[in-house]
Chains A and B, each alone.
Chain A
Amino acid sequence: MTQARKDLEIGFGIEPHMYEITQEKINNYSRYVFHGKDTKNIHTDDQTARKAGFPRTVAQGRYPIGYLSEVMLSFFGMGWIQGGKLDVALVAPIFAGDTITIKAEVKDKVQEGEVTRIMLDVWLENQRGERVTVGTASGIVHDQSSGLVAR
């Protein structure tokens, strides 16, 4: 995967990352949230989801944000852990059985002292091309000479 660099041009798109959102993965995330317990809620139970007005079970909002952070980690490396920023709106539900693709495009580069902040538009698309999560992310690229301080 391409690594964040100062010379990436505005409009550069990072490689899309695709994830299948299966019911099993949603259940697994729910067990993670509830410390290993199986629970019945709009994520894990169709009937509960329908009562809440959804056609079927929906993925937890922050579950795909975890994927997005992983993609940013691959792109920015240490500059995500020390300096990463993410700001997204979850504009449409992600349903069990959907396939989401994470996309990002360089929109700006800002000098911050000895480092450069690369700013991206980021979004998650479902299999119909609808944007379900939209926002911005940014991370730090260090000048060759400045290096990183790993504390």
Chain B
Amino acid sequence: MEAKVKKKFSYETVEVGQELGKKEVVITDEMIRTCAGAIESSHPWYLEDSPFGGRIAPPTIFDNDTLRVLDENYDRFGSVHAKQAWEFKNPAKVGKKVTLTVRLTEKYVKRGRGWIVMEMVAVDEDGLEICRSKHTSLMSLKGGITE
């Protein structure tokens, strides 16, 4: 399969309004444990059982995959996470397949620098909306991958 050619990540080249892509994620035990471990959580709903019927994932678990969709489209190198909004609607249960739809919804210049806003909606295999997020980044930095 031919590798997707990534676009240059600059204020001029990012296209607002387009759907960046969809990503299917199956919530595995390993994903839950790794995510919970990274934020030092041993919450029993993640590791044992929850009132929702079975284990659930930490609600912020889809942040990585959201950025990955951006990185599949653009050659991103150096951006700063500036704002984050979440709405949690339903639990992401272990074993469920969840589809993330990611869009670039806004770009603007503030204090002479470019900013982008990316929105994600996560829906599980039963059509249940799990969460949505809004991620705002400052685009440029002198060097280094930041997120």
A52-B144, A62-B60, A80-B59 are known contacts. Are A85 and B83 too (CB-CB below 8 A)?
A: no
Question: Using an 8 Å CB-CB cutoff, how does the interface string of A66-97 with B read, 1 for contact, 0 for none?
Answer: 11011001000010111111111110000000
Are A51 and B52 within 8 A (Cβ)? no
Instruction: Chain A residues near B45: list those with CB within 8 A.
Output: 73
Q: Are B143 and A65 in contact (CB under 8 A)?
A: no
User: Quick check: is B147 within 8 A (CB to CB) of the other chain?
Assistant: yes
Residues of B within 8 A of A12 (CB): none
- Bound state CA distance, A53 and B138, in angstroms? 15
A84-B59 in contact (CB<8A): yes
- The reply on A39 being an interface residue by CB < 8 A is yes
Q: How many residues of A contact B (CB 8 A)?
A: 42
Q: Digit string of B22-59 for contact with A (CB within 8 Å is 1, else 0)?
A: 00000000000011011111010100000111001011
Judged by DSSP, the binding face of A is: mixed
Which B residues lie within 8 Å of A49 (CB)?
144
Chain B residues within 8 Å of chain A by Cβ, number: 39
What's the Cα separation between A42 and B143 when bound, in Å? 8
Instruction: Let me know if B18 is at the binding interface, CB within 8 A.
Output: no
Interface of B, helix, strand, loop or mixed by DSSP: loop
- C-beta contact mask, B56-72 vs A, less than 8 Å → 1, else 0? 10111001100000000
What are 24 A-B contacts with C-beta separation under 8 Å?
A29-B38, A29-B39, A32-B38, A41-B144, A42-B143, A42-B144, A52-B144, A52-B146, A65-B63, A66-B35, A69-B58, A70-B43, A78-B51, A78-B52, A81-B59, A82-B90, A82-B91, A84-B88, A85-B88, A88-B83, A89-B83, A90-B83, A150-B53, A151-B128
Known: A42-B141, A52-B141, A69-B86. 19 other contacts (CB 8 A): A41-B144, A42-B146, A51-B142, A52-B143, A53-B142, A58-B146, A66-B39, A70-B41, A70-B58, A73-B59, A80-B59, A80-B88, A81-B91, A85-B85, A85-B87, A86-B86, A87-B86, A150-B52, A151-B128
Q: Which residues of B are at the interface with A, using a C-beta cutoff of 8 A?
A: 34-35, 37-41, 43, 45, 51-53, 56, 58-60, 63-64, 78, 80-91, 128, 141-147
